[in-house]
Structure 1
Amino acid sequence: MSSRPYPSPVVVVLALVAATFLAGCTGGSKPAPTPSLDSPERAAAELADGLSRADLGAVEFASASSSDVNTEFKAIVAGMGPVHPAVGVASLNAQNASATATLRYTWQFPGVPMTWVYDTTADLAREGGRWKTRWTPAIVQPGLDGSNRLRQHRLYPERGEILGEDGDVIVTNRSVVRIGLDKSALKAEQLATSARRLATLVGVDPKKYAAAVEAAGPEAFVEAIVFRATDSRRPANRVVAQIPGALPVEDEQMLAPTATFARPVLGTVGQATKEIVDDSSGAVVAGDQVGLSGLQRRYDGRLRGTPGVVVELAAAKTAAASAEPSGSSSDAAGERGSASSASPSPRPAQTLFEARAVAGRDLTITMNIGLQKLAEQVLAGTKPASALVAIRPSTGAVLAVASGPGSAGQSISTVGQYAPGSTFKVATSLALLRAGLNPGSKLSCPARIEVDGRSFKNYDDYPSDSLGQIDLRTALAQSCNTAFISQAGKVSDTDLASAAGSLGLGVDYDVGFPAYFGSVPAEDGGTGHAASMIGQGKVQASPLAMACVAGSVEAGKTVVPHLVEGVTPKSAAEPLTANEAGQLRSMMRSVVTDGSGHLLESLDGPAAIAKTGTAEYGTKQPPQTHAWMIAARGDLAVAVFVADGASGSHTAGPLLQRFLTSAS
């Protein structure tokens, strides 16, 4: 193997010196400059990035300052609001000192499935050793020429209606008047004064409203309150107009027949809150009308529909301003209209892109409009928190869920948690029947009974002629506490919980709306178990659950309520048998014919069955009491609850009687 000789270091140095000398003797030419690292690809990428961020302040332009171009660009796209396109370089063609970039624009609008995609071209040139963009508005959109601008507005879909039993319309568009301030009609120094005056006039918090006005955009209509057009509390238009910038705007809004009609359950519709916008993953923007509570909130995706958008070429403004941008918290008006609008364009706007809105879908529920109105009328004069629930035993359909005026806007009819008192004795009776007793079985009903050192007694006006040895039927009819407690050793806590479950109480279900089905302790013992036997202690129920108890007895099967079409859960409890239901039905009929529910005996039509209840609560002496009454008559089961009442028969009973009489 031969080796190749290498030159010595001295030889290498001499060779370099010689090469340098010869180069210097070739006519005096200078050394070639280092090739520039700049490229048209860099300039095109820089431009695309600036367009995507809606800020061209860092982009280099040929024969133009970046700040001047950025100012012009901002005015061109101001009407697009907060929506920015994704811009990429689709292709690049470079020749010597010039190049052409093809830019691909993709616009996505909040909640709108369709995207707007188009291409533009940008010319690049070398200037001062750098590649730069030759600015023209057509880089943003081919139709832009310096005399016009882009603008877009959101198309709002028709919201779905809520329909009741037999397809009757419950929630639909009804005439309203939106009262607010038009900021474009006010000077800055007028805003706070007008905002506070208007807030005081319509009864909203002046400080909060003034802050909302301050935070809104310069051309915004800032809504203070919405009145039904027929609302007698609405201030006259002339009074509103006396406040600078204040306007009453006629509009429509999704509303129930009355302001109180099942409001806690149905919920409300209004402008999206910040929390709703933030949680929507971009589908909802400020200014959108969405469900804020109740069924409107839970089924908002179905009811709201899909928004659309229109993008137009409009005449340029003298100053950068947003027209009706989709997604703008200050100027969005869409097709709902606005109290203020942009100045008239010298020429008609040209539509560049349109995605049509898709209407929401109706939601059908089982509520009966007449019975719901009746339930609310029955409770209208009741000052404490109160509720009335009516269901159809044959199907479990919820017909009315009214929470009285003392309920502070809460849906206590469906989610209230209260001791059911003696109405729970229907479940206790079922547990005793399953333990081998029958309606004629003899029980001891003393005036008092002691369990583990705790004394239990009957209610104050318990009939003395029903003390001593009585049968189970009489114990239920007269509601003898001590008789039921005397049988505590025959049924366990688990037996009680199972019997309650068979009547629709104490077993959770997803029924498509907020509902509480009660709680019956499966392990308590001692005085706790004794209290459970009469619906006290840790036993809790909602009026909805107690309506199911009455409905289950009437129907002869476990009734699980349903309100929303398509949401019909099945019972997971031990089934109620026809024989058990028959015995309970006869015993609850005795409550009407011989006991505390006698006020229902005079009703015409099908025979009523019932049970009254009074539950002690709190630490006051004497204790405060909840008043209950449940009943069923034909294919209608009802529960009435009053948070503070004398007794079930005296407080809840007359309300239930009035409802059943009018519901006939």
Structure 2
Amino acid sequence: MVDRRTEARRLTWRRALGPTALAVLALTLTACSDDAPSPDGAAADLATAISDGDFEGIAFTQANLDAAAHRDAVLEPLAETDHTVTVAKVDVATEGENKGKQATATLAYTWNVTDTTPWTYETTVDLVLQDSPDGGAEQWAVAWEPDVLVPDLKDGDRLAVTRVRAERAQILGADGGPIVEPRPVYRIGVDKMNLDPARQDAVARQVGAAVGIDVEAYAQKVAGAGAKAFVEAIVVRTDDTAGIDVDAVRAIDGASVVDGELDLAPTRTFARAILGRVGDATAEAVEESEGQVVAGDTIGLSGLQRQYDVQLRGTPGITVSVVADGSAGEDTGEDLDGDGQPDPVEDVKDVFAVDPVAGVPLATTLRTDMQVVAESVLSGVPSASAIVAIEPSTGNVLAAASGPGGDGTSTATTGKFAPGSTFKVASALAMLRSGITPDTVVSCTPDITVDGRTFQNVPGFPATAIGEVPFRTAFANSCNTAMIAQRDAVSQQALHDAAADLGLGVEADLGAPGYFGSVPATAEGTEHAASLIGQGKVEASPLGMATLAASVAKGERVSPVLVRPEVTPAAAETPTPSALTADEAATLRSLMRSVVTDGSAKLLAGLPGEVGAKTGTAQYGDGNQAHAWMIAIQGDLAVAVFVETGDGGSVTAGPLLKAFLDAPNTGE
């Protein structure tokens, strides 16, 4: 039995060949002669033509056929997609009246629409052996049909390719819950549908001024929007409107305040410099992605959102459909294309689909409650500031807060500052290794001169600690001169090694950008003297000093961790093993406890537990400005507090650290 498709093709051939050609064909109803051309070459040429769009030299049975235009119109959505078209097989008619004169070529298509799953299919096309138009030898001509390109394609059909966006994954906190969640917001703007066009410009300017944005730019945005558009001016949290008087905006005749939800962190400032933000893909990002990102995609633009964008954004899906415009003969009742006419119904048939793969959540070690407290404590500090809290037993960074004075940078994790006397914890370790004990008597003089440079103690240094005192007393009160006096007993290399044993200057798999500090291994004279009190060329971040404190608390070097990515990164260069011993760590904890009980951090004495601390002040600039530091340990918690410009560790950093440890669910 001959199926309808075959019969339809025969009719097409008869019409294309015409009566004369059929008569000639009737006279040659014998087996194909030995010198007849093979259809294989014609099939291969057709496959190449469909692949690259150049049909020059391809013969067709139909007159005036523009196969190239048809091909381009149908396959336009796949124009930039890598693909191949090859000949799977060619079957020549071996019996009947068309023996040797007709053939069917099977074409194999592969479209690499995704990196992992290609769209593959086969079509068939009929070939007819006919006379050459110029009277030359016979040639195989293509009986072109729409379904040569895609199975079951009909006249007027086209392809549509839809990219299906994957669900972006969340960044998780220490408890495994998402840091960013849907939270209530106010969407403030102008609703043009319900506003007299004559008043739209004036209302737009009033709203722009009320919410503090560029009035002129917003007025132009409103003017250029559609007649029924809601033109958003700003989105604010319902519990933190960033100083915007929402009720005053509501009072503007024509303004619109709409309740909504938006994926947001717990607070407006929550770890902003670390987490980063997401937004529309930039042209640069699209170009650099090599097809992974397209215009309109939402991607990470900064921070962890950018660093782990591939993991978080997932893999988009794709749907390839055959669309017949207006085939239903009805309209949708909507005018989405703006031509003033109802849009036609489209008969859409999906022919290939790959489901999107949702992104993989990114696990961090941040405790949201602790981070919120830390940022609240820093909210009123005018200069750059930071609080970093580490859990010594695990190395988990529980909080890494940067104050508003840092202009959006992560002061907590990437700042580079002289640590001042907080570094004396490392100096003390080097001195313990040189033979000093907490009870060794050292000389704490008002000043000391090294190679012509005079070093002094901080202003207000207690007179009771001046003179020949136990090393414990000198450490507790942060005597600069006593530390510098040991410069001949403690080499710069020994100082460098002691700091490294406590994690300062040692790279770690933090999972995020971080600066771990720098302590020169060589220094002489005044530079070596300055190093002993955490100045000169010694640098640290708040993260680095929190790591140092955590190592003392744990009794071994701690490697801080802030992010635990789904894919483990390549291991960094293995650092030299720490030589810190349990006895050394115990002695350092005892010395830090003395700072609280008898020294410069007495304001922490009322906190529960065996709190140990070290204050720090480091002059910078012209020498009249100072960094203020304090580090502390309390149970399984190590904290570093930093203020770029302050009056000293005890006066400026101390109250901030106390407020942090005093907060519920923070200290013991």
* 3-state DSSP of counterpart to 2:416: coil
* 3-state DSSP of counterpart to 1:167: coil
1:114 matched to 2:117? The reply is: yes
Q: Which amino acid aligns with 2:629?
A: W
Match of 1:645 in 2: 646
Match of 2:146 in 1: 137
1:375 matched to 2:379? The reply is: no
Match of 2:15 in 1: none
Deviates more, 1:464-473 or 1:38-47: 38-47
Q: CA deviation at 1:490?
A: 0.6
Distance 1:86 1:654, change over 3 A: same
Q: Which amino acid aligns with 1:617?
A: Y
1:92-126, Cα deviation, whole Å (9 max, x unpaired) = 34676655432211122244x22110011234455
Greater relative CO, 1 or 2 (CA 8 Å, sep 6+): 1
Distance 1:269 1:585, change over 3 A: same
Separation (CA, whole Å) in 1 of partners of 2:78 and 2:185: 29
Q: CA deviation at 1:541?
A: 0.5
Separation (CA, whole Å) in 2 of partners of 1:84 and 1:60: 26
Deviates more, 1:152-161 or 1:450-459: 152-161
Distance 1:170 1:56, change over 3 A: farther
Deviates more, 1:83-92 or 1:586-595: 83-92
Q: Which amino acid aligns with 2:618?
A: A
Separation (CA, whole Å) in 2 of partners of 1:349 and 1:556: 68
1:90 matched to 2:88? The reply is: yes
Separation (CA, whole Å) in 2 of partners of 1:147 and 1:64: 19
1:615 to 613, 618, 622: 618
Distance 1:64 1:258, change over 3 A: farther
1:48 matched to 2:47? The reply is: yes
1:636 matched to 2:637? The reply is: yes
1:158 to 167, 183, 206: 167
Map 1:222-241 to 2 at 5 A: 227=235, 230=238, 232=241
* 3-state DSSP of counterpart to 2:400: strand
Match of 1:660 in 2: 661
Count of residues in correspondence between the two structures = 582
Q: CA deviation at 1:71?
A: 4.1
Q: Is the 8 A contact 1:314 1:345 kept in 2?
A: no
Q: Is the 8 A contact 1:48 1:89 kept in 2?
A: yes
Q: CA deviation at 1:153?
A: 1.1
* 3-state DSSP of counterpart to 2:180: strand
Q: Which amino acid aligns with 2:75?
A: V
Deviates more, 1:95-104 or 1:533-542: 95-104
TM-score (norm 1): 0.77
Q: Which amino acid aligns with 1:644?
A: T
Q: CA deviation at 1:365?
A: 2.0
Q: CA deviation at 1:268?
A: 2.4
Match of 1:441 in 2: 440
* 3-state DSSP of counterpart to 2:405: helix
Q: Which amino acid aligns with 2:652?
A: T
Match of 2:592 in 1: 588
Match of 1:185 in 2: none
Separation (CA, whole Å) in 1 of partners of 2:114 and 2:458: 62
1:432 matched to 2:431? The reply is: yes
Separation (CA, whole Å) in 1 of partners of 2:113 and 2:594: 66
Q: CA deviation at 1:82?
A: 3.9
Match of 1:33 in 2: none
Match of 2:389 in 1: 390
Separation (CA, whole Å) in 2 of partners of 1:561 and 1:638: 12
Map 1:453-468 to 2 at 5 A: 453-468=452-467
* 3-state DSSP of counterpart to 1:450: strand
Q: CA deviation at 1:136?
A: 2.8
Q: CA deviation at 1:556?
A: 2.1
Distance 1:206 1:304, change over 3 A: farther
Separation (CA, whole Å) in 2 of partners of 1:301 and 1:239: 44
1:143-196, Cα deviation, whole Å (9 max, x unpaired) = 221243211212222222222223232134567899999xxxxxxxxxxxxx99
Match of 1:418 in 2: 417
Q: CA deviation at 1:388?
A: 0.7
Q: Is the 8 A contact 2:444 2:468 kept in 1?
A: yes
Separation (CA, whole Å) in 2 of partners of 1:227 and 1:97: 72
Q: CA deviation at 1:545?
A: 0.9
Q: Is the 8 A contact 2:320 2:352 kept in 1?
A: yes
1:305 matched to 2:304? The reply is: no
Deviates more, 1:129-138 or 1:144-153: 129-138
Q: CA deviation at 1:251?
A: 8.1
Separation (CA, whole Å) in 2 of partners of 1:76 and 1:591: 79
Q: Is the 8 A contact 1:51 1:85 kept in 2?
A: no
Deviates more, 1:430-439 or 1:474-483: 474-483
1:51-93, Cα deviation, whole Å (9 max, x unpaired) = 3346768976554557x54444444334457435322232334
Q: Is the 8 A contact 1:50 1:58 kept in 2?
A: no
Match of 1:578 in 2: 582
Q: Which amino acid aligns with 2:579?
A: P
Distance 1:288 1:558, change over 3 A: same
Q: CA deviation at 1:558?
A: 1.6
Q: Is the 8 A contact 1:54 1:74 kept in 2?
A: yes
Match of 1:77 in 2: 75
* 3-state DSSP of counterpart to 1:170: coil
Distance 1:199 1:315, change over 3 A: farther
Map 1:160-239 to 2 at 5 A: 160-172=169-181, 203=213, 227=235, 230=238, 232=241
Separation (CA, whole Å) in 2 of partners of 1:340 and 1:431: 75
1:102 matched to 2:106? The reply is: yes
Deviates more, 1:462-471 or 1:566-575: 566-575
Map 1:354-373 to 2 at 5 A: 354-373=353-372
Separation (CA, whole Å) in 1 of partners of 2:125 and 2:250: 55
Distance 1:508 1:249, change over 3 A: same
Q: CA deviation at 1:589?
A: 1.4
Match of 2:515 in 1: 516
Q: Is the 8 A contact 1:417 1:541 kept in 2?
A: yes
Q: CA deviation at 1:505?
A: 0.5
Q: Is the 8 A contact 1:196 1:207 kept in 2?
A: no
Match of 1:262 in 2: 271
Separation (CA, whole Å) in 2 of partners of 1:398 and 1:548: 9
Q: CA deviation at 1:43?
A: 5.0
Distance 1:46 1:387, change over 3 A: farther
Q: Which amino acid aligns with 2:583?
A: N
* 3-state DSSP of counterpart to 1:488: coil
Separation (CA, whole Å) in 2 of partners of 1:652 and 1:378: 11
Q: CA deviation at 1:409?
A: 1.7
Q: CA deviation at 1:264?
A: 1.9
Match of 2:9 in 1: none
Distance 1:229 1:449, change over 3 A: closer
Q: Is the 8 A contact 1:423 1:629 kept in 2?
A: yes
Q: Which amino acid aligns with 2:107?
A: L
Separation (CA, whole Å) in 2 of partners of 1:58 and 1:534: 85
* 3-state DSSP of counterpart to 1:658: helix
Q: Is the 8 A contact 1:202 1:225 kept in 2?
A: no
Match of 2:133 in 1: 128
Q: CA deviation at 1:252?
A: 5.7
Q: CA deviation at 1:317?
A: 7.1
* 3-state DSSP of counterpart to 2:563: coil
Q: Which amino acid aligns with 1:163?
A: L
Separation (CA, whole Å) in 2 of partners of 1:556 and 1:644: 32
Separation (CA, whole Å) in 2 of partners of 1:59 and 1:297: 50
Q: Which amino acid aligns with 1:496?
A: L
Distance 1:277 1:601, change over 3 A: same
1:381-409, Cα deviation, whole Å (9 max, x unpaired) = 11211111011122211100111111122
Name stretches of at least 5 consecutive residues in structure 1 with no aligned partner.
1-35, 182-194, 215-220, 319-338
Structure 1 vs Structure 2 CA RMSD: 4.3
Match of 1:627 in 2: 628
Q: CA deviation at 1:577?
A: 1.6
Q: Is the 8 A contact 1:162 1:172 kept in 2?
A: no
TM-score (norm 2): 0.76
Deviates more, 1:435-444 or 1:97-106: 97-106
